[in-house]
Amino acid sequence: MTFARISGTGGYLPERVMTNHELETIVDTSDEWIRDRSGIRQRHIAADNETTSDMALSAAREALAAAKVEVADIDLIIVATTTPDRVFPSVACTVQRKLGIHDIPAFDIHAACSGFMFALDVANRFVKTGGASNVLVIGAEIYSRILDWSDRATCVLFGDGAGAVVLQAAEEAGIVSTHIHSNGKHEELLYVSGSVGDRGTERQSDAAFIKMRGNEIFRKAVAALGNIARETLAGNGITKSDLSWLVPHQANLRIISATAKKLCLPMERVVVTVDQHANTSSASIPLALDVAVRDGRIKRGDLLLFEAFGAGLTWGSALVKY
Ligand code: UT7
């Protein structure tokens, strides 16, 4: 039987750091409120000439180097993003062009903050069924371009960045299981305004900006993430104490702590980057994974639980033997 294994990780964060104090000069907020309610201290913001595919490419190159895989050996590229350079082509096709390879399949997955979980699920299926053996799975987002910088309820929460993994065919898991869910019923709780046909000149309100009913999303996220953690453990016949690390989507430290508590995991076993990166949507899990792999906390053989929740609504998890 063939399994998929994470053989390398990579990450990219734009150079420019925006602190909470800088945000105090833009909207009616305070460093204290942002830290208390979300755990965020700073976020990285892409330069004007930087694109999602640029960031995705940098993260991918790091992951390939870590995995010691040549670009020419990649046989599938999947990018999770909701902030592509353009409506089309996909970021995955642009990354493919920038890597100088062609003819292999490359496509984007759109599942908002859960995007990396959906991308990992699809990539895992490709590898397990023999459709690919060296896959680049990337999460990359440039939310600074879809933030309303006059809306304090959203602009303080997000940041830009990219994370990537190389998934390779192996004789042992690897990706032990993936679990993905969607429910379109609550789409009004978190969405981007405007639609593809809008010309954007007559009505400023048509511009593409994130709109979020934060409090309601918060409660749904805590409930869904608790459920999916239970589903993942039960589905694999393991218990909370078998987990080495929780690598969660980084939306809010309070959501992360609530999930860790349900799993009886001390915060020392939880990878937290939300303080430094804020919410980078589908980039947040591969970025957090890369940070903890590179600083030596996550080691080969550790059992990891990834979990994410986002617009759609969408949510997902993966149990991973690193
Ligand atoms: O990754 C995708 C999913 N996204 C999430 O998971 C985010 C989920 N939601 C959250 O993280 C939290 O709901 C927030 C951090 C967005 C907000 O925290 P909260 O504890 O739910 O606050 P709230 O929305 O209930 O607002 C409390 C108060 C309000 O004032 P009043 O009405 O009580 O006077 C807001 O107007 O805080 C006010 N407020 C702010 N004050 C200072 C909202 N944003 C700000 C701000 N600075 N930036």
| Closest residue CA from atom 30 of ligand 1 | 153
User: Nearest to residue 194, comparing CAs of 184, 183, 208, 204?
Assistant: 208
Q: Which domains does the chain have, with CATH numbers?
A: 3-172 (3.40.47.10), 176-321 (3.40.47.10)
Q: What is the mean pLDDT of residues 121-139?
A: 98
* pLDDT exceeds 70 at position 41: yes
The C-alpha atoms of residue 307 and residue 314 are separated, in whole angstroms, by 11
The percent of the chain in helix, strand and coil, each rounded to the nearest 5, is 40, 25, 35
pLDDT of residue 155 exceeding 80:
yes
Position in ligand 1 atom list of the atom nearest CA 249: 1
Does pLDDT of 54 surpass 80?
Answer: yes
**Number of Cβ within a 10 Å radius of residue 264:** 11
Ligand 1 centre to CA of 175 (Å) is 35
Q: What is the per-residue pLDDT for 194?
A: 86
Cβ 251 under 6 angstroms from ligand 1: yes
Q: Which protein residue has the closest C-alpha to ligand 1 atom 11?
A: 252
The pLDDT of residue 25 is above 70? yes
Q: What global pTM score does this model have? A: 0.96
Residue 205 has pLDDT above 60, yes or no: no
Query: What's the 158 CA to ligand 1 centre distance in angstroms?
Result: 13
Confidence band, pLDDT 50/70/90 cuts, at residue 195: confident
- Distance of CA 53 from the midpoint of ligand 1 (Å): 31
Confidence bin at 206 (pLDDT 50/70/90):
low
Tokens of 78: 């999947």
Q: Hey, which residues are catalytic here? A: 113, 249, 279
Contacts of 8 (CB under 8 A, 6+ apart): 62, 63, 64, 65, 66, 67, 68, 69, 165, 166
Tell me which residue has its CA closest to atom 3 in ligand 1. Answer: 310
Main-chain phi, psi angles of 139, to 5 degrees: -120, 125
- What integer pLDDT is reported at residue 200 of this predicted model? 58
pLDDT(191) > 90: yes
Whole-number Å distance between alpha carbons of 22 and 169: 45
Q: Residue 199's pLDDT is what?
A: 64
Cα–Cα distance for residue pair 64/67, rounded to 1 Å: 5
pLDDT above 60 for 201: no
In this structure, which residue's CA is closest to atom 29 in ligand 1? 153
Can you give the C-alpha Rg of the chain in angstroms?
Answer: 18
Q: How would residue 292 be classed by pLDDT, with cut points 50, 70 and 90?
A: very high
Point out the ligand 1 atom lying closest to the alpha carbon of residue 284.
1
Beta-sheet pairing, 314-321 with 303-310? antiparallel
Q: What Cα–Cα distance (Å) separates residue 149 from each residue in 14, 26, 42?
A: 18, 7, 15
Averaged pLDDT, 108-134: 98
Of all residues in the chain, the percent with pLDDT exceeding 90 is 95
Ligand 1 centroid to Cα of residue 182, in Å, is: 24
Span from the CA of 156 to the centroid of ligand 1 (angstroms)? 10
Ligand 1 atom closest to Cα of residue 23: 48
Instruction: Report the half-sphere exposure of 68 (CA within 13 A, side-chain side).
Output: 0
d(CA 265, CA 125): 29
Atom from ligand 1 closest to the CA of residue 310: 2
pLDDT of residue 198: 74
Q: Output the six-digit token pair for 5.
A: 């294994």
Please state the separation of Cα 108 from the chain's center in Å: 13
Can the peptide bond before residue 89 be classed as cis, meaning omega within 30 degrees of 0? yes
The CB of 113 under 6 Å from ligand 1? The reply is yes
What mean pLDDT is predicted for residues 97-117? 97
Distances in Å between the Cα of 312 and the Cα atoms of 32, 113, 135, 179, 189 are: 30, 9, 26, 16, 9
pLDDT of residue 277: 98
Confidence band, pLDDT 50/70/90 cuts, at residue 166: very high
Q: What would the pLDDT profile of 248-290 be if each residue is shown by its tens digit? A: 999 999 999 999 999 999 999 999 999 999 999 999 999 999 9
Question: What is the Cα–Cα distance from 105 to 128, expressed in whole angstroms?
Answer: 16
Q: For residues 121 and 301, give the distance between their C-alpha atoms in angstroms, rounded to a whole number.
A: 20
Nearest-CA residue for ligand 1 atom 38 is 153
**Residue 19: is its pLDDT beyond 60?**
yes
- Model confidence at 5, pLDDT cuts 50, 70, 90, reads very high
Please give the Cα distance from 61 to 120 (Å, whole number). Answer: 18
pLDDT of residue 204: 54
Please give the mean pLDDT across all residues of the chain: 96
Q: From 25, 33, 37, 117, give the residue whose CB has the most ligand 1 atoms within 8 Å, as the site to mutate.
A: 37
Predicted pLDDT at 230: 95
